[in-house]
Amino acid sequence: MSVLLIAEHNNKEVKPFTLNAITAASQINDDLHVLVIGKNADPVAKSLSEVPNVKKVIHVDNDIYENYIAENYTPVILKQAENYSHIVCSANTFGKNLMPRIAALLDTSQVSDIIKVISEDTFLRPIYAGNAFATVKSTDKKKCVTIRPTSFDPAPTSGGSAEIVKGENTDPSQNTKFVKKEEIKSDRPELGTARIVISGGRGMQSGENFKLITAIADKLNAAIGASRAAVDAGYITNDHQVGQTGKVVVPDLYIAVGISGAIQHLAGMKESKVIVAINKDGEAPIFSVADYGLEADLFDALPKFLEELNKLNTIQK
Amino acid sequence: MKIIVAVKRVIDYNVQIRVKEDGSGVVTDNVKMSTNPPDDNAVEEAVKIKESGKAKEIVAVTVGEEKAQETVRKALAVGADRGILVKAPGTIEPLAVAKILQKIVEKEKPDLVFMGKQAIDDDCNQTGQMLAAILNWPQATFASKIDVKENVLEVTREVDEGLETIEVKIPSIVTCDLRLNEPRYASLPNIMKAKKKPLEQIDASELGIDIKPRIEQIKVEEPPKRKAGIKVSSVEELVQKLKNEAKVI
């Protein structure tokens, strides 16, 4: 049978993680259909129809789907579910909120946050914040799966021409009302998808000192991250937090500055391709995962780092 | 108003877990156990609501083996009024926990059910949403702020893009983020008092629901180890390595 993926979007554009989830979903079964639920979301349906991995787009459009409310999405998905063996979506706050609601009503035990598709019913997933990997096999007839987006490459976005069919909407929930969304606007790349991330920890000593990090982030076009300790100390807002309770990032380059490397932080960044640690404590656990460790006082090292970067003729961005 | 808080006993978050050699799971013998951290936030929030006069009773519930009652006792020590231990052996998946909690909700008729957004052992992040689904209640997940209003809750949620605020009618389910509040410590006198608070024990098998696992755990293994890197002696060397060796800048 086929796989149904629930798309995340803002009614205009597909959210990037949906493309990563598409890659995983088409590894489960290549007859992949995508469900777009939104308000005036035609551009989203159209762009998904151009993704070569997608065989069909089902588009359900109504004013009630302007904002994403799990209680409104769920009945639409359940209506489609009987035709599919798998219902999948990305394991970010969108999918984490939505999928268990669907799974419970299908009486299915959900498989959360997979990082590898082994077969149609068997998956690899991290447990204990990534300190162990479990291979699990779902025995439910219908499978509900969420996908860790950073473990899969994004699917190509052009070359396909899937058909777009309209699906039926259902009645809105009377019990849940959207009030507002405060998006954090930034000119920088988004933390979850940036190619380079530079993060500060408690060693930064103050929020003011994060300007040393900002200057390097500007130079490298990097996203700014932080450890939980830095967030708890009030140096920086919590949307920057990398770790088990923050965001999981997998950039090409991760630079950890003044971060000791608590288990909870490592869980959020240790899959990065290249890791740099700058810390004055040579025994800090962060060095055990760093490709390049520099034992130095960050207040000397960061200005020098910027200076050296300025000397380079070219910087990949 | 009556609030149920669901709590789970897990390996303490400071413990570096070890995978069993036979691949059957992780070592739990002689390992420090604690309440799942965001469940502490859920208990704290319920207690704060009670202290504000908006709730009358808090019932702490857990599902698990006999020892899981420690987790309920801890909730009682910081302000829950009574506890329920639903005894169930072995692995109980989130769907089964949700079904057990549904039975407790039908019996206790609370106005709100709070719990942590995710357990730090299986990292599933499912139980609250599943309970909301099978009760047909609204769900407010990943809550970092809760305002109790007339018949509704206004909840600020931590989402990837920032913060989202929704309003859910009571009765409702809230799953709590670590940023919701700062859980208090239990004082020694309160720990002593908690020992006298009622703690009911129910056997899951008496509830008439199927709680058998649906997911087969084939093996548990250590994640691939990262190759140890090198120490560089200067910033100049670091930049040179990043440029010419790693080729990332």
Please say if the pLDDT value at position A184 is more than 80.
Answer: no
Cα angle at A63 between A157 and A3, to 5 degrees? 40
H or E element: which one contains A35? strand A32-38
A239 to chain B, any CB pair closer than 8 A? The answer is: yes
- Residue B134: list chain A partners with CB under 8 A: 104-105
Cβ of B94 and A244 within 8 Å?
no
Interchain contact, A305 vs B242, CB within 8 Å: no
Residue of A nearest to B225 (CA): A289
Test the A interface: residue of B155, B230, B232 with most A CBs within 10 Å:
B232
Asked whether this chain's domains A2-166 and A196-311 adopt the same fold, the reply is yes
Per-residue pLDDT at A193: 83
Predicted confidence at residue A313, as pLDDT, reads 75
pLDDT digits (tens, 9 = 90+) for A211-261: 999 999 999 999 999 999 999 899 998 889 998 778 889 999 999 999 999
Report, as an integer, the average pLDDT of A5-21: 96
For residue B217, what is the domain's CATH number? Answer: 3.40.50.620
Instruction: Establish if B37 belongs to a structural domain.
Output: yes
Q: Are B5 and B39 in contact (CB under 8 A)?
A: yes
Could you tell me if residue B106 is inside a domain? yes
Please tell me which residue, A182 or B175, carries the higher pLDDT value: B175
Percent of chain A with pLDDT over 70: 99
Q: Look at residue A150 and tell me whether its pLDDT is greater than 90.
A: no
Chain B stretch 174-193, residues whose beta carbon is closer than 8 A to a beta carbon of chain A:
177-179
Residue B249 inside a domain? The answer is: no
Q: Read out DSSP for A162-198?
A: -EEEE----PPPSSEEEEEEEE---SSPPTTT-SEEE
Rounded CA gap, A36 and A11, in Å?
A: 9
Interface mutation vs chain B, best among A69, A72, A98, A109, most B CBs within 10 Å = A109
For chain A, how are helix, strand and coil distributed in percent, rounded to 5?
A: 30, 30, 40
Confidence band (pLDDT; 50, 70, 90) for A317? low
Collect all residues of chain B within an 8 Å Cβ-Cβ radius of residue A140.
214
From B60's Cα to the closest Cα of chain A, the distance in A is 23
pTM: 0.92
Look at residue B70 and tell me if it is in a domain: yes
Number of structural domains, chain B? 1
Instruction: Name the minimum distance, in Å, from the CA of B195 to any CA of chain A.
Output: 31
Domain boundaries A2-166, CATH class: alpha beta
The amino acid that residue A203 corresponds to is G
- Best of B215, B232, B240 to disrupt the A interface by mutation (most A CBs within 10 Å)? B215
CATH of domain A196-311: 3.40.50.1220
Asked if A181 has any chain B CB less than 8 Å from its own CB, the reply is yes
Instruction: Read off the pLDDT of residues A253-282 as tens digits, 9 standing for 90 and up.
Output: 999 999 999 988 998 999 899 999 999 999
Tokens of B93: 């998946």
Mean pLDDT, chain A, rounded, equals 95
Inter-chain residue contact A173 with B215, CB threshold 8 Å: no
Given a cut of 70, whether residue A121 has pLDDT beyond it is: yes
The span from the CA of B114 to the CA of B38, in Å, is 10
Give the pLDDT confidence score for residue A129 in this predicted structure: 87
Check CB contact of A223 with chain B, cutoff 8 Å: no
Segment among A71-75, A107-111, A188-192 with least mean pLDDT: A188-192
**What pLDDT does residue A115 have?**
96
Residue B31: domain span? 2-244
Tokens of A137: 């096999």
Closest CA to B148 of B181, B131, B170, B173: B170
Better-scored residue on pLDDT, A191 or B227: A191
Q: Report whether pLDDT(A178) > 80.
A: yes
Residue B212: is it exposed, middle or buried by C-beta count within 10 angstroms (0-12/13-18/19+)? exposed
Give every residue of chain B whose pLDDT is below 70, as ranges: none
Residue A82 has pLDDT above 90, yes or no: yes
CA distance A299 to chain B (A): 12
Sheet holding A54-61, edge to edge: A111-114, A143-147, A84-90, A2-6, A32-38, A54-61, A163-166
Is residue A158's pLDDT more than 90?
A: yes
Residue B121 included in any domain: yes
User: Which 278-297 residues of chain A touch chain B by CB within 8 A?
Assistant: 282, 287-296
State how beta strands A274-279 and A132-138 pair. Answer: unpaired
